[in-house]
Amino acid sequence: MSIDSNKKPLCVAVLLSGNGSNLQAIIDAISHDRLNISIELVVSNKLDSYGIERAKRHGLNSKVIERQLFSSKQDFEQSLSQLLNSYDLDLIVLAGFMLVLSKEFVTAFSGKIINIHPSLLPKYKGLDTYQKALSAGDEYHGTTVHLVTEELDGGPIISQTKVLIEPHDTVQSLTQKTQNIEHKLYPLVLGWLANGRISINNNTVFFDNKPVSQTGIPNEL
Ligand code: GRF
């Protein structure tokens, strides 16, 4: 992927709660000059998240807003939106952000929030997707990048990638395999957003100006 150095970078905030391996994959893609993206801010709702450590190490702006310091979800989200609105952001990237955002919050940032979810959506929304796929005896698991709408893990699919489930797989091994793919898929999708191949209008995703099918943009990963 080449970058047009005259083009303004896509300005994003990354929201996370934990390890931040997806943040790391995005940082690595930017630093290898593959992504015309500027991470303006990294926000965590957890004080001890390793993702914040990663942000600091790379000299990125970071901020912790702990949910439990607010008496209501509404107050927490108000503080979060005030912070986000103080930046000129094109996109909010959820990367392991473990709080469910309210309809009001999502509506306020409509068409500007994306998420990565470890399943082949619409299968297995919510938690424990690896165990669910193994218990169901599925042939494939996978990961999905989607637009965030008020329905949990239910927004339009931008792109998804399959992972073969092998007989010896456990939750741990399947997690590892799926996350290895996530670390390629999220930068790929962000690259498409940064170079204008993906556009979003009225909660509809377009790729090269054509509406994307229900299963998202095919990829070669
Ligand atoms: C990822 O597997 C993502 O799909 C899910 O949360 C996990 C976050 O992992 N939403 P990390 O914090 O990026 O390592």
From the CA of 21, give the closest atom in ligand 1. Answer: 14
Helices (H) and strands (E) in the chain, counts: 6, 10
Name the active-site residue from 117, 141, 146, 183: 117
pTM of the model: 0.96
Q: Is the CB of 142 under 6 A from ligand 1?
A: no
CA distance 42 to 48: 14
Digit-coded pLDDT (tens) for 78-124: 999 999 999 999 999 999 999 999 999 999 999 999 999 999 999 99
Digit-coded pLDDT (tens) for 201-213: 999 999 999 999 9
* Dihedral sign, Cα of residue 49, residue 151, residue 143, residue 182: negative
Report the pLDDT value the prediction gives residue 7, as an integer from 0 to 100.
Answer: 79
Q: Is the CB of 16 under 6 A from ligand 1?
A: yes
pLDDT at 135 exceeding the cut of 50:
yes
Which one of 14, 21, 129 would you pick to mutate in the ligand 1 pocket, going by the greatest count of ligand atoms within 8 A of its CB? 21
pLDDT at 15 exceeding the cut of 60:
yes
From the CA of 178, give the closest atom in ligand 1. Answer: 2
Digit-coded pLDDT (tens) for 169-196: 999 999 999 999 999 999 999 999 999 9
Centre of ligand 1 to C-alpha 23, Å, is 9
> Which are the contacts of 10, defined by CB distance < 8 A and separation ≥ 6?
36, 37, 38, 90, 91, 190, 193, 194
Digit-coded pLDDT (tens) for 64-87: 999 999 999 999 999 999 999 999
Q: Are 118 and 129 in contact (CB under 8 A)?
A: yes
Q: Is the CB of 116 under 6 A from ligand 1?
A: yes
Report the pLDDT value the prediction gives residue 2, as an integer from 0 to 100.
Answer: 42
Please report where in the chains the tokens 């801010």 appear, as a residue. Answer: 41
Active site residue 117: yes
Q: Are 147 and 158 in contact (CB under 8 A)?
A: yes
